Amino acid sequence: MSLKSIWGRAGKALLVLMLGLAAGGLIALSPDIASPLVVLQLPGLLALILDRSPGYGMARAVLLFQAAACVRPVMDAWYHCSGVDGCMTYLAAWPSVARVWLAGAVAWILGQLLPLGLKVWDDYRLRDRRSVLTARRDVIVAEWGLDRHRLH
């Protein structure tokens, strides 16, 4: 096993540990905030469960987008609500939920479209490279009288 993979696995475990500690700390310090936050992050958590890609790239993107969308509602809820019911009412209201889930959807759509775009751009670049190579090959074959079929 290489040193790089050992560091990669250790870093991943550390990340999971830090996220677990952060989640546990949040639940311990402020369970009234943590409960509605689970509702807001629900699509991201589902994505984390369903994502089969290596490194959970899609789930990570969805969680990060939703996290960014949660920052302002959580800050508001921190100062303006109290109790699990109050905060649930404040944070899990449809406008907040819709905005956060929309951010998750945007992340998902972006995660689907960006690879397609990259693939199309790469195909275009390689097609151009291939035509350059083929032309160069034809020139060499003509210049040296080489048997095209034999070389293929």
Partner 1 sequence: MSDHSSVALSSSLIAGRYAIDTSQSLTDAGAGLPCFLARDRSAGDGRRIALAVSRDFSPRVRHLKALSDPIDNLMVPLGHGIAPLSGSKGEGYFVVCPAPPGPPVSANLNVWPDKALLDLVLAPIARVLDALHGRRLTHRAIRPNNVFQAARGQLVTLGAAWAAPPAMHQPAVCEPPYSAMCHPAGRGDGSIADDIYALGVLLVTLAGGKIPMANMDDATVIRWKLDLGSFQSLTRDVSLSPSLAELLRGMLAEEPDHRPLPAALLDLAHLRGRRIAARPIRRSQRPLMLNDIAVFDGRMLGFALLTDEKKAIQFLHNGLVTQWLRRSVGDATMAAQIEDLVRGGAADPRSGPLAYATLVMRTIQAVNPRMPLCWRGVALWPDALPSLLAAALCTDPTLSAPVEELLVNHITGTWLPSASRAGQPESFDMSQYRYLLKDGGPSGMLRLFYALNPLLPCTGPGMATEWIASLSDLLRFLERTAVKAGDTMIVPPIAAFIAARADREIEVQVTGLSNINDAKTSRLPELLLLRNLQAKYHPAPMPALASWVVKRLLLDLDRWRNKPRREALKRHLEVLAQAGILSRLLTVMNDAAARSADERGLLAAVREIAMIDAEVAAIDHGDEARLTDAARVGQAVTGGIGLSIFILMVMSAMLR
What secondary structure letter does DSSP report for 15?
H
Tokens of residue 136, six digits: 């160069």
Within 13 A of 68's CA, how many CA atoms are on the CB side? 10
Site track 15-34 with partner 1 (rule: CB under 8 A), x = hit: --------------------
Query: How many other CB atoms sit within 10 Å of the CB of residue 22?
Result: 10
State the greatest distance between any 2 C-alpha atoms of the chain, in Å, as a whole number.
Answer: 86
Span 65-94, contacts to partner 1 by CB under 8 A: 65, 67-69, 71-72, 75
**Structure-block tokens of residue 18:** 């830090």
95 lies in the binding site for partner 1 (CB under 8 A) = no
Q: According to the binding rule CB under 8 A, does residue 142 interact with partner 1? A: yes
- Tell me the closest approach of the beta carbon of residue 17 to partner 1, in angstroms: 19
One of 40, 61, 81, 100 touching partner 1 (CB under 8 A): 61
Considering only the stretches 8-16, 26-34, 89-97, 141-149, report the one whose residues sit in contact with partner 1 under the rule CB under 8 A: 141-149
